[in-house]
Amino acid sequence: MFTRPLASDLWASRCLLLEDITMFEERMLVDWKTLKKLGWPYSRAHTWRMIKAGRFPAPQKFGKHPGSRVAWRWKEISGFFDGTSPTIAT
């Protein structure tokens, strides 16, 4: 016998889905190639100068050696492009 789910059950599952999406966005990372695909017009050197000056979000570094890979958190990059980030886009 088929029973329809209650509206409260549907609302609860929708809230759980939104929590999953939020958790997924918090874990998403943007590497240098993806940053360029998003339309970032500056070189790596200029980007590092902006990071040092506090005008662009600092990336997460994967490793301790100087040439290790870096990536930015999606929420920080999307906030920077939207203008809602604490770092000022100038």
Q: Is residue 67 part of a domain?
A: yes
pLDDT in tens, the chain (90 residues): 555 544 445 555 555 555 555 666 677 889 999 999 989 999 999 999 999 999 999 999 888 888 888 999 998 998 898 887 665 544
What's the confidence (pLDDT) of residue 6?
A: 47
Q: Which residue has the tokens 């604490």?
A: 86
Q: Is residue 49 part of a domain?
A: yes
What's the confidence (pLDDT) of residue 12?
A: 53
What's the confidence (pLDDT) of residue 36?
A: 93
- In the chain, the number of structural domains is 1
Residue 30 has which token pair? 């943007």
What is the CA 55 to chain-centroid distance, rounded?
16
Helix axes 74-82, 7-27, angle to 10 degrees: 90
Q: The domain containing residue 63 runs over which residues?
A: 29-90
DSSP 15-76: HHHHHHHHHHHHH-EE-HHHHHHTT--S-HHHHHHHHHHTSSPPPEEESSSTT-EEEEEHHH
